């Protein structure tokens, strides 16, 4: 029975009445963060919204371990319209295989590109910056649907204060310098308890 | 052996004819690999071998006629047991399926219908020889002595008494197709329609040559050339992996066309392609788990077609002493491996931005960079890791030469 349960848990496409199968997750690479997230990791094949207060206040330090793992496994990682230039020396030092890192330099077609990259199901991770695009609920829903084609988590990074309140994403995290991560939305019914986590550089390196 | 001759009778002196010839030969190449142009307007094709494919010679001829229909050229067909006679039979529009009937037709064929040069025809007439049969009735030594070896050999070849050596035509190595439009096009839908048709032809060319496509150049010519600021509408598709997948190519063309604006009516399209024989045909192996990897180049093509060739890139370290030049946009497979243990920020600003020192708390440093003194382009800086009042960690430098001041160069994200 145990084995059957485990087997069923790996499938999201079998209806099991009221029992909600847990979304498969991948470890963030940081145990402190893993413990706070539902499912103890980044949900696979789901949209994750990251909302840094300023550009570069920690959105990379929480995603780098995953990017490094995926590129080392030979999975391509796509950065779509990053706001600044990724410094190759620093990314390589973080363990990211630069031969698997694709940067898409586009301003107007970033969401289109993300949707296609996700639908192909070939990317290890997709990170998309909305930049000046004003996000709507439709955008979020389309990206979430595209995510479900593959197993890659998709990180949507926006600093827009006027973002829609309703969301279709699996997680929404606000990031303040530090980085201090606040979980502001999950799909779980129970209220979020102690949802703010300060990740000091020590917790990051200890993992 | 059985040969089919095609004689194109409409006037062929326009400059398009060489390309049309190539097109016709490509069509005929589907029936046989033994074909050649006897002269500018006569094509002969060996059809004996491919007759097994078709129940009767008539089916083959109907099929060929159907394929040649879009050409809108007038031509006559003829068959004969040898290539030389097939050319003549095409001129006459006669079909001779065996040697006996060929002899019969040739014997009664007037000299002026043969492709012999005018000079030769005149000298034959002067001697009272007005048909090929009359010539053939002469003893062989007299024929050579009176009219020369060339004429004799030509006529002997017609009769099949001498073998005809032909140099078989082969499809050209470069694909080049020019479509002239009688009715100029202004809409993207019609352009798409013409390009789709061209794709089909291109695919059959690739398969025949056992080639895979690497790039396609398409040039759409606007009407009324010569006017000022006239430039053709051109675009290029490059494939990340050689392929002859027609559906994929069509999808890429659709994406490209979406980006274009047709300013003036187009009256001509030129399609050229680059191809390679270094490819492995796709194997749809049921147990091949790496099937997905094969789709990655297709995804890249798809994105590049919409975003442009240079939008998809990777980033590589570059050996340069100035941090703002120590990286390059480069395709991920060409990334340099550079071992550099210096602490660098995760993000670099495109250009260093001036800032005020008093708002920053310097945390770590300095890392002095002093370069360019050897080429009179001195640069002297002290790099620091600093914290902003809002808590963000920055990479800043204090420059002494050539400018003075504090600048932000990167962010530790």
Q: Is residue A91 part of a domain?
A: yes
- The pLDDT value recorded for residue B289 is 46
Give A113's contacts in chain B (Cβ within 8 Å): 303, 306-307
Inter-residue contact B125 to B111 (CB < 8 Å): yes
- Say which residue, B70 or A98, is predicted with more confidence: A98
Q: Is the separation of the CB atoms in A39 and A22 below 8 Å?
A: yes
One domain, residues B30 and B153: yes
Residue pLDDT, tens place only, A123-163: 899 999 988 788 888 888 999 999 988 888 999 998 777 77
* Residue A19 placed within a domain: no
Is A31 part of a structural domain of the chain? yes
Q: What is the CATH number of the domain that holds A185?
A: 3.40.50.300
Contact B344 A117 (CB under 8 A): no
In a domain, A60, yes or no: yes
CB of B199 closer than 8 Å to CB of B237 = no
Asked if B219 and B276 count as a contact pair (C-beta separation under 8 A), the reply is no
Tokens 């639908």 -> residue: A119
| Residue A205 confidence class, pLDDT cut points 50, 70, 90 | very low
- Averaging pLDDT over each range in A73-77, A133-137, A192-196, B398-402, which range is the top one? A73-77
Report the pLDDT averaged over residues B33-37.
86
- Burial (CB count <10 Å: 0-12, 13-18, 19+), residue B287: exposed
Compute CA A97 distance to the chain's CA centroid, rounded to the nearest angstrom: 19
**Would you call A98 and B295 a contact, using CB atoms and an 8 Å cutoff?**
no
Q: Hey, is the C-beta of A84 within 8 angstroms of any chain B C-beta?
A: yes
Averaged pLDDT score across all residues of chain A: 83
Residue B99 has pLDDT above 90, yes or no: no
Instruction: Average the pLDDT over B117-124 and give the result.
Output: 86
- Secondary-structure percent of chain B, ordered helix, strand, coil, rounded to 5: 35, 30, 35
Specify if B397 maps to a domain.
yes
Which tens digits make up the pLDDT trace of B251-281? 888 888 888 888 888 888 888 888 776 665 5
Average pLDDT, chain B: 82
Judge whether residue B138 has pLDDT over 50: yes
Reported as a pLDDT band with limits 50, 70 and 90, residue B11 is low
Residue B334 and residue A98: Cα distance in Å, rounded?
A: 10
B326 within a domain of the structure (yes/no): no
CB A82 within 8 A of CB A106: no
Note the pLDDT tens digit of each residue in B201-229: 888 888 777 778 888 888 888 876 555 55
Both structure tokens of B207: 């398969």
Residue span of the structural domain in which A43 resides: 24-206
User: Is B167 part of a structural domain of the chain?
Assistant: no
Same domain, B257 and B186: yes
Based on the fold, state whether residues B216 and B147 are members of the same structural domain: no
Determine the average pLDDT of the residues in A28-45: 86
| Residue A2, in any domain of the structure | no
Quick one: B154 and B221 in the same domain?
Answer: no
Residues B244, B137, single domain; the answer is no
Burial class of residue A54, CB neighbours in 10 A (0-12, 13-18, 19+): middle
CB contact under 8 Å between B327 and A87, yes or no, is: yes
Radius of gyration over alpha carbons of chain B, in Å?
35
Contact state of A85 with B307 under an 8 Å Cβ cutoff? no
For residue range B47-66, list pLDDT tens digits in order: 887 777 777 777 888 888 88
Tell me, what's the pLDDT at A82?
92
The pLDDT > 90 percentage for chain A reads 27
B334 located within any domain: no
Omega into B402 within 30° of 0, i.e. cis? yes
With a cut of 50, say whether residue B234 has pLDDT above it: yes
CA distances A148 to A41, A42, A118, B97, B379, Å, are 17, 14, 8, 66, 51
Instruction: Pull the structure tokens for residue B5.
Output: 């001759």
Query: CATH no. for residue B109?
Result: 3.30.70.270
Q: Is B326 part of the contact surface with chain A (CB cutoff 8 Å)?
A: yes
- Give the strand pairing for A47-52 and A171-176: parallel
Burial category of B166 from C-beta neighbours within 10 Å (exposed 0-12, middle 13-18, buried 19 and up)? middle
* Angstrom distance (rounded) from CA B82 to CA B3: 6
Interatomic CA distance for residues B58 and A102, integer angstroms: 58
B237 versus B57: the higher-pLDDT residue is B237
- Answer whether B346 touches A (CB < 8 Å): yes
Euclidean distance between CA atoms B139 and B120, whole angstroms: 18
A1 falls within a domain: no
**pLDDT surpassing 90 at residue A79:** yes
Task: Say yes or no for a CB contact (<8 Å) between B413 and A99.
Answer: no
Give the per-residue pLDDT at B66.
85
Selected residues 290-309 of chain B with any CB under 8 Å from a CB in chain A? 292-293, 295-296, 299, 302-303, 306-307
In this complex, is the C-beta atom of B50 within 8 Å of any C-beta atom belonging to chain A?
A: no
A68 pLDDT higher than 90: yes
User: Is residue B154 within a helix (H) or strand (E), and if so which, with residue range?
Assistant: helix B149-159
Distance from CA of A59 to the nearest CA of B (A): 6
Average pLDDT over residues B363-367: 84
Nearest chain A residue to B389 by CA distance is A177
Q: Which of A73, A91, A98, A149 to mutate to test the interface with B (most CBs of B within 10 A)?
A: A98
On whether the CB atoms of residues B346 and A87 are closer than 8 A, the answer is yes
Q: Identify whether the C-beta of residue B352 lies closer than 8 Å to the C-beta of residue B369.
A: no
Q: Is the Cβ of A75 closer than 8 Å to some Cβ of chain B?
A: no
Question: What's the pLDDT score for residue A176?
Answer: 87
Query: Is residue B44 pLDDT above 70, yes or no?
Result: yes
- Which chain B residue has the Cα nearest residue A74? B293
Number of structural domains in chain A: 1
A5 domain residue, yes or no: no
Task: Measure B6 CA to nearest chain A CA, in Å.
Answer: 50
> Residue B97 and residue B28: Cα distance in Å, rounded?
20
Q: What pLDDT was estimated at residue A189?
A: 57
B149 and B246 within one domain: no
Residues B279-334 pLDDT 10s? 655 555 555 444 455 588 888 888 888 888 888 999 999 888 888 888 999 988 88
B337 within some domain: no
Q: Which residue intervals of B114-245 are DSSP H helices?
A: 118-126, 132-137, 140-147, 149-159, 188-209
Residue with the two structure tokens 């410094």: A87
What is the pLDDT at residue B136? 84
Position A100 in a domain: yes
In a domain, B112, yes or no: yes
Order of strands, sheet of B379-387, starting from the edge strand that comes earlier in the sequence: A85-86, B347-355, B405-411, B393-401, B379-387, B361-371
Element (H, E) at B353: strand B347-355
Do B37 and B125 fall into the same domain?
Answer: yes
| E strand or H helix at B256 | helix B246-259
CB contact under 8 A, B391 and A76: no
**B351 and B266 housed in the same domain:** no
- Please report residues of B whose CB lies closer than 8 A to that of A176: 391
- Joined together, the tokens standing for residue A129 give 């910056």
Q: Report residue A18 as tokens.
A: 């009221």
Q: Is the pLDDT of residue A72 over 50?
A: yes
Number of domains composing chain B: 3
The angle at the Cα of A120, spanning A118 to A126, to the nearest 5 degrees, equals 30
A205 touches B at CB < 8 Å: no
* Per-residue model confidence (pLDDT) at position B13: 63
Residues 90-149 of A with CB under 8 A from B: 90-94, 98-106, 109, 112-113, 116-117, 120-122
Nearest to B332 among A89, A92, A98 (CB): A98
Cβ-defined contact of A122 to B292 (cutoff 8 Å): yes
Range of the domain at B19: 3-159
Which one has a higher pLDDT value, B71 or B409? B409
Taking residues B24-45, what's their average pLDDT? 85
Is B11 in the same domain as B142? yes
> pLDDT for B16-25, tens place per residue?
788 788 888 8
The half-sphere exposure of A93 on its side-chain side, counting CA atoms within 13 A, is: 15
| B412: closest chain A residue by CA | A56
Dist CA B221 CA B187 (whole Å): 14
């Amino acid at each position: 029975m145990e084995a059957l349960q485990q087997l069923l848990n790996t499938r999201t496409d079998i209806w099991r009445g009221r029992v909600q199968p847990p979304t498969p997750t991948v470890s963030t690479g940081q145990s402190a963060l893993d413990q706070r997230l539902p499912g103890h990791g980044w949900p696979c094949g789901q949209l994750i919204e990251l909302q840094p207060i300023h550009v570069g206040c920690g959105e990379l330090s929480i995603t780098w371990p995953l990017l490094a793992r995926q590129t080392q496994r030979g999975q391509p990682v796509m950065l779509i319209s990053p706001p600044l230039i990724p410094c190759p020396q620093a990314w390589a030092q973080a363990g990211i295989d630069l031969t698997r890192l694709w940067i898409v330099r586009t301003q107007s077609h970033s969401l289109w590109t993300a949707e296609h990259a996700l639908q192909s199901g070939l990317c290890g991770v997709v990170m998309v910056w909305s930049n000046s695009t004003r996000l709507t609920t439709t955008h979020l829903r389309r990206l979430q649907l595209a995510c479900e084609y593959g197993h890659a988590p998709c990180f949507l990074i926006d600093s827009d204060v006027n973002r829609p309140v309703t969301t279709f994403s699996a997680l929404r995290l606000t990031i303040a310098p530090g980085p201090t991560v606040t979980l502001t939305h999950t799909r779980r019914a129970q209220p979020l308890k102690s949802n703010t986590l300060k990740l000091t550089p020590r917790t990051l390196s200890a993992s | 052996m059985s040969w089919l001759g095609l004689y194109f009778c409409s006037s062929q002196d326009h400059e398009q004819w060489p390309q049309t010839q190539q097109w016709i030969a490509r069509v005929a190449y589907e029936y046989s690999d033994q074909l050649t142009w006897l002269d500018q307007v006569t094509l002969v094709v060996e059809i004996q071998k491919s007759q097994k494919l078709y129940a009767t010679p008539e089916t083959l001829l109907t099929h060929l006629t159907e394929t040649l229909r879009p050409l809108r050229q007038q031509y006559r067909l003829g068959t004969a047991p040898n290539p030389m006679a097939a050319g003549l039979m095409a001129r006459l529009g006669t079909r001779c399926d065996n040697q006996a009937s060929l002899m019969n037709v040739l014997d009664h064929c007037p000299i002026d219908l043969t492709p012999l040069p005018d000079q030769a025809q005149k000298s034959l007439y002067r001697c009272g020889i007005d048909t090929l049969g009359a010539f053939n009735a002469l003893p062989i030594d007299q024929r050579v002595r009176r009219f020369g070896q060339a004429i004799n050999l030509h006529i002997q070849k017609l009769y099949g008494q001498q073998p005809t050596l032909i140099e078989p035509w082969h499809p050209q190595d470069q694909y080049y197709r020019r479509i002239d439009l009688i009715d100029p096009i202004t809409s993207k839908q019609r352009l798409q329609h013409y390009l789709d048709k061209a794709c089909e032809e291109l695919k059959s060319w690739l398969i025949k040559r056992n080639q895979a496509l690497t790039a396609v150049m398409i040039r759409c010519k606007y009407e009324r050339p010569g006017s000022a600021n006239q430039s053709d509408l051109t675009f290029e598709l490059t494939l990340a992996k050689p392929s002859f997948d027609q559906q994929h190519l069509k999808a890429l063309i659709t994406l490209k066309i979406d980006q274009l604006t047709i300013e003036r009516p187009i009256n001509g399209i030129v399609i050229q392609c680059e191809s390679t024989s270094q490819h492995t045909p796709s194997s749809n192996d049921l147990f091949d788990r790496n099937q997905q990897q094969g789709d990655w180049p297709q995804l890249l093509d798809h994105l590049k077609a919409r975003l442009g060739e240079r939008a998809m890139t990777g980033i590589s370290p570059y050996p340069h002493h100035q941090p703002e030049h120590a990286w390059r946009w480069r395709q991920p497979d060409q990334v340099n491996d550079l071992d550099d243990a210096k602490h660098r920020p995760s993000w670099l600003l495109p250009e260093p931005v001036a800032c005020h020192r008093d708002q920053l708390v310097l945390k770590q440093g300095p890392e002095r960079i002093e370069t360019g003194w050897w080429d009179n382009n001195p640069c002297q800086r002290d790099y620091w890791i600093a914290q902003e009042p809002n808590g963000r960690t920055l990479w800043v430098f204090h420059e002494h030469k050539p400018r003075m001041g504090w600048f932000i160069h990167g962010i530790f994200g």
